Amino acid sequence: MGAKQKKKMGLVMKLLLLTFGGGMLLAVGGYGFVEVKYSSKIDETFEQPVTALEIPEGSSSAIERGNYLVNNMMGCSHSDCHRADLGGGVLMDEPPMGMVYAPNLTAGAGSVTKEYTGEDWARILRHGIKKNKQRAVIMPSEDYTSFSDGDLAAAVAYIKSMPAIDRETRAHDPGFLLRALIATGEIPFAHDKIDHNAERPNAEPGPTAEWGKVVAGTCSGCHGQGFSGGKIPGGDPSWPEARNISPDEATGIGSWTFEQFEQALRHGKRPDGTELNKAMPWQMYAGMTDDDVKAIWEYLRTVPAKPAGGR
């Protein structure tokens, strides 16, 4: 090898080392950033002033209302969340997202809510803050802020009426990707999305757009606050994007009839006959009252049409 060639090789080696070393530095720096930022966000505590929910424990009418809200509207018992028995379970467990666990809400061993007071229930449901003052992850508290104190208290009365299930609540074991998404704010906490001083809609249940605005709050966690759909933040990576349910003619449900909407919501079938993925919890909505389905439809027709994916 001539001197010139040697020099050239040395240069290539130097460049390689620089690139490799630079990449390593970036990777280590990025890793460090994620770990520090993730921990500080998860550990941060909040003093959240609340108005306590007055829970009508044992009232049969409240429990009946709560049963409907929890199982047909709020989605607490939806397949992969707190489970039909509300004893909790694994929400997702796949690398690189890692394991997220929906806790046990019954009074059994392993419960996280056994000692919850009316204040604690208000703090988690209205503001996304746990009893330990930290922000809950993945839990879609923002979906419930439009409901009245009476309805939320009824939901809690129902939860408290459920048989105690002894099932340990496992600690989350988030993978690097989930930690990175939380560290960078790609998956925001419900607490950050909620307007904590917003006036609550004062609507009475009925087939009206006003009541629909309350109920459709539970669609927004997946379909977005503008209802135009897109990737569901914090959703299982295997889920399809939520569809556009704003009145956009081209990509939304602007040209649908009420019957077609009801068919999709209750039976999981689009107007063209294709089936909706189970990520869209239509089995839960199958049991929704006619008035509530109509109310959501009426309300969705009043929201601004948006192209798909803008959320």
Here's the x/- map for ligand HEC, 200-219, by CB under 6 A: it reads as ------------------xx
Dihedral class, residue 57 (left if φ above 0, else alpha if ψ from -120 to 50, else beta): beta
Sheet of 173-174: strand order equals: 89-94, 98-102, 173-174
Options 84-92, 145-153, 175-183, 269-277: segment touching ligand HEC (CB under 6 A): 269-277
Exactly one of 280, 295, 303, 305 binds ligand HEC (CB under 6 A); that residue is 280
Question: In whole angstroms, how close is the CB of 9 to ligand HEC at the nearest point?
Answer: 55
Exactly one of 93, 276, 301, 310 binds ligand HEC (CB under 6 A); that residue is 276
Distance CA 110, CA 279 (A): 27
β-pair type (98-102, 89-94): antiparallel
Q: Which residue has the tokens 């047909």?
A: 72
CB within 8 A of 101, min separation 6: which ones?
A: 88, 89, 90, 91, 169, 170, 171, 172
Question: In whole angstroms, how close is the CB of 69 to ligand HEC at the nearest point?
Answer: 12
Closest to ligand HEC by CB, 110 vs 207, is 207
Here's the x/- map for ligand HEC, 22-61, by CB under 6 A: it reads as ----------------------------------------
Q: Tell me: does residue 97 bind ligand HEC (CB under 6 A).
A: no
Stretch (H or E) spanning 214: helix 209-215
Which residues of the chain form contacts with ligand HEC (CB under 6 A)?
A: 75, 218-219, 221-223, 232, 239-240, 242-243, 245, 253, 261, 264-265, 270, 276-277, 279-281, 285, 296
